[in-house]
Structure 1
Amino acid sequence: MTNTIPCYHCGLPAVDGDKYNTHVLGIERQMCCPGCQAVAQAIVENGLEDYYRFRTEPGVKADDNIQQTLDQLAIFDEQSIQQDFVVHQGEISEIQLSLSGISCAACGWLIEKQLSKVSGIKQVSVNVTANRALVSWYSDALSLSQIMASIERIGYHPSPFQQEQHEALFQQSHKAQLKRIGLAGLMTMQVMMLAIGVYFDLFGDLEKETSSFFNWISLVLSTPVVFYSGAGFYHSAYKALKAKTVNMDVPVSIALLATYFSGVWATVFEHGQVYFESVCMFIFLLLVSRFIEHQARHKAAQISANMLQYIPLTANLMVEEEIQPTLAKSLQLDDVILVKAGETIPIDGLVLTGHAQIDESLLTGEFYPVDKNTGDTVYGGTINKSGTLTLKVTSQFKYALVNQIARLQEQAMASKPKIATMADQFSQYFVLAVLFFAIGSFTFWWLQGDPDAFWIAISVLIATCPCALGLATPSALSFAMANLNKQGVLLKRSDVLEQLTQVDHLVLDKTGTLTKGEVSISAMYNISALSDTELLQYAHSVEQYSEHPIARAFSSFPVFTQVEDFQFSLGEGVSAKVNQQYVELFAAHSAASKNANVPEQLKDSSIVMRIDGEFVCGFELSDTLRPDVSDMLARLSRKDITLLSGDSQTNVSQVAKRIGISDWLAEQSPQDKLAFVQRLQENEHRVLMIGDGINDAPVLAQADVAVTLGAGADLAKTSADVILLKNALSKLPYLFQIAIRCKQKIRQNMAWALGYNVLVLPLAVSGVLTPWMAVIGMSLSSIIVVVNSVRLLK
């Protein structure tokens, strides 16, 4: 019979031998499971090894569920599983995780703080708005399962980000919150009715038995509110304390549980005060505020687009010259695929055979198709407008360009603003101060022999509860956002209005933002004997058969009926016989390929037209400006403005000249735009970026404030902080006005909330304020803050 060594922590058999070890009191000790190992490590790390030196019996065995959880997480270390979720960049790996169990910003701060302590972690950033975390780590020092286990240990549940699963988690949390609010609201009304009757003597002089009966009814009604509706506060406080820190839910939990259990004691022994109505009202008000915050976060995350929607699910894989449909994400390097006209390219690749025009507006934001021939690179998510291409796959699905742009966006979001860090630190100090005053008050009055020492401490916790302080900013922001919503302006982040007041530099995209992305004829150069009307009729007669965006510029003009032999030549324009005359339209810069010299009068033309070999006219094409661009720029003229576009030098310079912007840059890639904004920020500028395309997503994420149009790409909306739903640029100056007013209201609210706490604290500490007075004072303080914020609706 084999002798099994007992677990050093709990004493049970360590059946796995030396699988789980911890160094305790200078010796390597064996543990029975990772749970006991984790507990022992925590005891050692916190300098509490004397527990093992002086203990009289083994410790309690750790939760077996930890072992089960770790076994389940181990599957994420499989390379075949990581292939879909993890991006490897040399020795550094990166993943997006969905997080369930997050209730407020303090949760994100706690996860970041605890995870950053893990050896091997390079960076961790929690996006509380989207309930997601971006984690990068050194893969040779740490495994993915260890990272996820570290998050599990502090009470949150991670999983690789998947859009469908993420939405399911939100719906589950949403239903649970509604149930808790519904129960709390219903029970609070009942308990308040009884309390009001007693306080204001509506039932006459109550006998002791009747008063006791009312207390028992209130106890029964309050219990589910305290232990079901209020459970989230206790869980949050427990997670913080477990991580050796405090958050705003710690004093809230202490006040709720202490008030409830003191009420239970007073009810059972029929001696002392009960404040069940205060507990219920407190929980109900806090739950409502958390629910509103939760909904706002979901609205912000709801617009987030899954990048895979831009990639088709299937691809035409060529195997021995036969087409086999296959999943796009299963394509491997050097696979050969076929892409027909009208299809979306499933993955980045190199053109082996064929030629086509590719719509790359998904990536560049520009509406002109790009000519692609043998040897050229094409990108997943772009659309083949004409021709058939045979491609060789040059990158894995997760490294496709659209996914690289999405990762640039996430990395830009990983940098936390200073204001967020300061808020985290302030809230922690505020909570510690509240706990200090409450404990100090209790100790002082208890030493004085005052029987109400406990209630004085409770009054301090309730009176100084940061409800008004907590509402000071959110209430002003909520009403400011409501005002903006009526104007067709949607804010995705609540701190955008504050940041707007600091913006001093505007960066503008061109195509689709300042312009409509629609080609129009801005000038016509006629060097023939024919009239302009006749020439436009000839042009439209040919262009009516073309699918090129340029053809739309001629769509409003009449056509001749006798049109035949239409020809389209990739990169060389269109031609046809119109009324027995050979008509050609082509780009002026491509005339050399036709062995033709463009006349000097037509040099500034975008496209030129020949009839029977003779140049007759040229057309200058331009993108149509949005009608409110000039008004917006005039009202924001005090700020520095830069036009940043991926379009050609000629087109950008024309638009810049028309709207009066002297500072402009053309032919800018997504990386170029991102670098430009980063340089501005390094020079201590606060940048607002306006863009609408997927190519703008990284720079939108990097900007201090990002604005996009309602008609913009979904990924641009994901990165943006502000969405102009009606595509009205004229609303941007109004947004700045509201931001200034909102900042004023926030200052007024903060002054009142802090002033109230300063005034009420001496009253609570001195015992003048009872718990029910503290609840009423807290409520009135909150109401004053809200009423002041309502004025932002005007």
Structure 2
Amino acid sequence: MSKIKCNHCHLEFEENIMIKENDLNFCCKGCQGVYHLLKNDGLDSFYEKLGNKTIAPPIELNNDDISKFDSLNFLDNYVSATNEGFSQIDLIIEGIHCAACIWLNEKILYDTKGIVEANINFTTNKARIIWDDEKLKLSEIILKIRSIGYNAYAYDSSVADVQASKAKRDYFIRMMVAVVCSMNIMMLSVAKYTGFFTGISKEVKDMIHIGEFLLSTPVLFYSGWIFFKGAYYGLKNRMINMDFLVATGATSTYIYSLFILFGAKGESYFDSVSMIITFVLVGKYLEVIGKKSAIDTLDKIKSTLPLEAVVIKDNQRKVVALNSLNIGDIIEIKAGEKVPVDGKIVFGSGSFDESTLTGESIPIYKKVNDTVYSGTINIDSLVQFEVTKSFKNSTFSSIVALLEDSLNSKPAIQTKAAEISKGFSITILSLAFATFVVWYFFGLDLGFDYEGTDTFERSFIVAVSVVVIACPCALALATPMASLIGISELAKKGLLFKEAKFIETLASANCVVFDKTGTLTKGELSVVKARFLDENIYKIQLLYSLLNASKHPVSISIKKYLESKYENLEIKNLQNVKNIEAKGMSAIYKNIEDKEFEIIGGNVELLREFEINYKFDSSKTVYLFAINKKVIATFELEDKIKDDAKEIIEYLQNKNIDVVMLTGDNEQVASKIAKELNIKKYFAKQTPVSKANFIKELKKENKIVVMVGDGVNDSVALTNSDVAVAMGSSADISLAVSDIVLLNSTLKSLKEAFEISNKTYKYIKQNLSLSIIYNIVTIPLAMAGYVIPLIAALSMSLSSLMVVLNSLRIKMK
């Protein structure tokens, strides 16, 4: 029975199931319906864009589930509000096969009244849709997509995580197959090339060819399948990409080697096939790891918040999921717990650690009517607050959303090798084809003796020589080889570069933005001045005992100071220990004679509360200790500047690189640090969002921005920078989103990062130049027939060796 093509999906089907309509043929009612829909809406130009390509027939769906898209639970979980007041959702559109599918979906969505924006990513099929919910329901958008033969469902990060894990596993298996086979092929190649110069029997050579064939075949068709797939989709979208060049070069060499294997005169190049696939596949695997890391980062950030909150209603406490919290609910949090959503205190008071948001190293005292922010930690007391923002719109959730956008939209830096390779691919393939045509039709015989070969084989050998000699191995190695050596040198200095591309970006940077706390400063309070009015060791032990009962950063710092100054400090048994929020502590001590001592330790306000009038003026953090209303000791603390901070600032300024400091601390502290380090541009009281916006503005001024930070509050700014640098002691989230990690947490290593990156980038440019000159000289020789494939392969290897040797100069001081 004959087969015919459907006028919509272009798939062939049996004539007996055809739906005939005038001169039109459809394989099903779904295709017929979509065809007329597009005709009626004036979208039939879709078929011109589709060309001869085929698509899947419309998905048969039951619309009984459509009401769920308008349910409050679904909208709360997946729909967010834009700054303009519109609704926004991320959808995965199922059934997309090509650019024409993208065009059709975007076109029909934009033509739908109420749609403000519809952007679909061809690689991921992820669509971001913004609409006016007063004019259009989400269910109507889903029905519109379904009406043209596609399906849509809400993007879920857990689904994305599964897909990313699957892709990582698949790439790893393919890469390991390629590596194992290539290593064995290279062992056989050593024997083959040695025999070329010293002599080898035909039987042995044939056995080597068979062994290389058996090993290279799974590399090409299993490990290299992703390049064939990438080349296919590139061609479908009228692009000649690097995948196409890799697939063509490897396949041509493989086909020629098959000729040799089955009796043609010459040498096989199965080893080249294997190495081309293996080298490029390793790079692809690193990209997949980067995508998986981004998803893991978001999951890690989200996991730092509690999943539930304690809500007080009608004098009863009930545990409620964060998504179910409503504005106006009263939430209770105990000491040590995280604030789940933004709110206003209605009962109690206490100190809150806001370092995750502002970078401020000192806890902030909050009382009734003060605002508390999600992600901050209640340090010392029970507090109740009224919810003022939903979970989705709270401060920490907003930071997560910004971070997700930054990770998804951050463009990959294109290296010069990749830019050159785009045109290089088309040029080499065109030259190889032209060479074959000229040799085949004009029978040129300018080079080596091809006696015994027919016209086709001779032409094919010369054309393959052009592809092999111009194979972009040297060009492809130019950047990664220098980068690999550069990265190994950086690692010796305690520097971890997550991707080689950041070497080039760091070398080109013209602006460095520093966080203050934990980056330019040590990130912990230290005693800078201590005064003992009565240094009786017995009284010092009472102070030490009081400090031991507190987890406040000030208490911990003074405790460390006492331990370094005195030996064998003894902890006394204190009674009635009280924590006075944001002021200090008090306790009672009774000695063996049952004599009672009232001891207090804290700030000046605490002493006033206990009717102790003691004047103490200082711009630093102050801690006073008193026994029976008499001050025994005073301490002044501050966050000290790192020893190597001034050196890195001077180095950058001498290189004409702009230096900026952003901090969540107050103006007084920021001004003092900036003055000591000679930083002319600094900005105090910065939030995570304002830091990120500042980075964005710098990039609009064509600045290549390096951001150096260490806290969760820096994570959004780090992802918006061109290069994100984190200290080895940074928060896990900062390490996850960073591009470079200073493992030893010293700023001296940042200076070394700039020095080695500049040196490496210099040799990358030299390698690129050497590769281009090599191709300019050797390609014409191969086209003229003066280079047989064996010499072409050796020449290609020589060019690669030249690149490697030049890159090794990075190690030289």
Bin of the TM-score, shorter chain as denominator length: 0.7 to 0.9
The answer to whether 1:227 aligns with 2:221 is: yes
Encode CA deviations 1:442-463: one digit per residue, 9 max, x unaligned: 2322331452233322222222
Closer, same or farther: CA 680–717 of 1 in aligned 2, 3 Å? same
Deviations 1:114-145 (A, max 9, x none): 99999759697989xxx989864434699998
Q: Secondary structure at the match of 2:239?
A: coil
Letter in 2 for 1:543: L
The residue number in structure 2 matching 1:768 is: 786
Paired residue type of 1:362: T
Distance in 2 separating the partners of 1:326 and 1:390? 15
Secondary structure class of the residue paired with 1:168: helix
Asked if the contact 2:250–2:277 (Cα under 8 Å) also holds between the matched residues in 1, the reply is no
Say which is worse superposed, 673-682 or 361-370, in terms of deviation: 673-682
Secondary structure, counterpart of 2:724 in structure 1: strand
Distance 2:253 2:24 in 1: 36
Which of 362, 366, 375 does residue 368 from structure 1 map onto? 362
The residue that corresponds to 1:55 in the other structure is none
Contact 2:357 2:687 in 1 (8 A): no
Question: Which SS does the other structure have where 2:310 is aligned?
Answer: strand
Match of 1:356 among 331, 350, 354: 350
Q: Show the counterpart of 1:704.
A: 722
Distance 1:146 1:756 in 2: 58
User: Would you say 1:545 and 2:535 are equivalent positions?
Assistant: no
Uncovered stretches (5+) of structure 2, i.e. residues with no partner: 1-16, 111-115, 445-454, 563-568, 590-594
- Given that residues 93 and 126 in structure 2 are in contact (C-alpha distance below 8 angstroms), is that contact kept between their aligned partners in structure 1? no
Aligned partners of 1:98 and 1:161 also within 8 Å: no
Pick aligned residue for 2:33 from 2, 19, 22: 19
Say if 2:796 is the partner of 1:778. Answer: yes
* Paired residues of 2:302 and 2:400 also in contact (CA < 8 A): no
Question: Which one of 396, 401, 418 corresponds to residue 402 of structure 1?
Answer: 396
Q: State the shift of 1:282 in Å.
A: 2.2
Matches within 5 A, 1:331-350: 331-350=325-344
What is aligned with 1:54? none
The answer on whether the counterparts of 1:463 and 1:777 sit within 8 Å (CA) in structure 2 is: yes
CA gap 1:216/1:297 in 2 versus in 1, 3 angstroms: closer
Q: CA deviation at 1:185?
A: 2.5
1:67 is the counterpart of 2:59 = yes
Q: How does 1:476-625 map to 2 (within 5 A)?
A: 476-524=482-530, 530=534, 539-556=543-560, 557=562, 561=572, 563-577=574-588, 580-588=596-604, 599=615, 606-609=622-625, 612-613=628-629, 618-625=634-641
Q: Give the conservation status (yes or no) of the 8 Å contact 1:359–1:382.
A: yes
Q: How much does 1:17 deviate?
A: 7.5
Paired position in structure 1 for 2:9? none
Are residue 465 (structure 1) and residue 471 (structure 2) matched? yes
Rounded Cα–Cα distance in structure 2 between residues aligned with 1:78 and 1:775: 63
Report whether the alignment pairs 1:628 with 2:625: no
User: Which of 264, 272, 277 matches 1:281?
Assistant: 272
> Deviation string for 1:353-409 (max 9, x for gaps)?
333332222222333222333333333333222222334444444433223223333
Any idea what SS the aligned residue of 2:529 has? strand
SS in 2 for 1:776: helix
User: Whole-Å Cα distance in 2 between the matches of residues 353 and 278 of structure 1?
Assistant: 79
Query: Structure 1 residues 603 and 15, CA, compared in 2 at 3 Å: closer, same or farther?
Result: closer
Aligned 8 A contact 1:7 1:14 in 2: no
Question: Contact 2:469–2:792 (CA<8 Å) still a contact in 1?
Answer: yes
Q: Residue type matched to 1:687 in 2?
A: V
Aligned to 2:754: 736
Residues 639-663 of structure 1, C-alpha deviations (whole Å, 9 max, x = no match): 4433321122333344445545454
Secondary structure of 1:738's aligned partner: helix
The AA in structure 2 aligned to 1:677 is I
Number of equivalences: 747
Q: Which residue of 2 aligns with 1:104?
A: none
Structure 1, gaps ≥5 residues long: 31-36, 52-59, 100-106
Tell whether the 8 Å contact from 1:497 to 1:739 is kept in structure 2 after alignment.
yes
1:165 aligns with 2:162: yes
Deviation per residue, 1:212-269 (Å, 9 max, x gap): 898777666654443223222211100101111110121332233344445556767x
- Rounded Cα–Cα distance in structure 2 between residues aligned with 1:167 and 1:414: 14
Q: TM-score, normalised by structure 2?
A: 0.78
- CA contact 1:488–1:724 (8 Å) conserved in 2: yes
* Cα distance in 2 for residues equivalent to 1:737 and 1:146: 58
Distance 2:637 2:129 in 1: 50
How far the C-alpha of 1:19 sits from its partner, in A, is 3.4
Worse-matched range after superposition: 605-614 or 194-203: 194-203
Q: Out of 707-716 and 352-361, give the one that drifted further.
A: 352-361
Q: Following the alignment from structure 1 to structure 2, what is the Cα–Cα distance between the partners of residues 278 and 534?
A: 85
Contact in 1 for aligned 2:228/2:247 (Cα 8 Å): yes
CA separation of 1:113 and 1:570: change in aligned 2, threshold 3 A: farther
Distance across 1 between alignment mates of 2:105 and 2:480: 28
1:57 aligned partner: none
Q: Give TM-score, length-normalised by structure 1.
A: 0.79
Question: C-alpha deviations, 1:38-57, integer Å up to 9, x for none?
Answer: xx8654126x6xx8xxxxxx
CA distance in 1, matches of 2:198, 2:26: 61
Q: Using the TM superposition, name which of 343-352 and 578-587 deviates more.
A: 578-587
Structure 1: which amino acid aligns with 2:520? Answer: L
Query: Is residue 417–residue 479 contact of structure 2 (8 Å, CA) maintained in 1?
Result: no
The whole-number CA distance in structure 2 between the counterparts of 1:613 and 1:690 is 46
8 A contact 2:341–2:391 mirrored in 1: yes
Cα deviation for residue 514 of structure 1 reads 2.4
Distance 1:546 1:198, change over 3 A: closer
**2:281 is matched with which residue: 276, 283, 290?**
290
Contact 2:511 2:659 in 1 (8 A): yes
- Which of 235, 238, 241 aligns to 1:241? It is 235
Deviation readout 1:586-634 (Å, 9 max, x if unpaired): 4347888788876366687634455555667643211244343344445
Q: In the alignment, what sits opposite 1:138?
A: 130
Q: Secondary structure at the match of 2:269?
A: helix
Relative to structure 2, which stretch is displaced further, 237-246 or 84-93?
84-93
- Cα deviation code 1:716-758 (max 9, x no counterpart): 2233221111212211111111012101211211111101110
Kept after mapping to 2: 8 A contact 1:181/1:288: no
Cα pair distance change 1:438/1:321, threshold 3 Å: farther
For the 8 Å contact 1:338–1:390, the answer to whether it is kept is yes
Paired letter, 2:297:
S
2:356 match: secondary structure: helix
Identity of aligned residues (%): 25
Q: Bigger CA drift: 590-599 or 554-563?
A: 590-599
Which secondary structure state, in structure 2, belongs to the residue aligned with residue 523 of structure 1?
strand
Equivalent pair of 1:406/1:697 in contact (CA under 8 Å) = no
| CA–CA separation in structure 2 for the residues paired with 1:455 and 1:542 | 87
TM-fit CA distance, 1:94: 5.7
Does the residue aligned with 2:384 lie in a helix, a strand or coil? Answer: strand
- CA 1:76–1:164: 2 relative to 1, 3 Å: farther
Residue matched to 1:443: 437
- Supply the AA of the counterpart residue of 2:356: L
What secondary structure, in the 3-state scheme, does the structure 1 residue paired with 2:29 have? coil
Matches of 2:393 and 2:489 in 1, distance apart? 42
Aligned to 1:751: 769
In the alignment, residue 174 of structure 2 is paired with which amino acid? Q
Tell me how far apart the structure 2 counterparts of residues 689 and 459 of structure 1 sit (CA, whole Å). Answer: 48
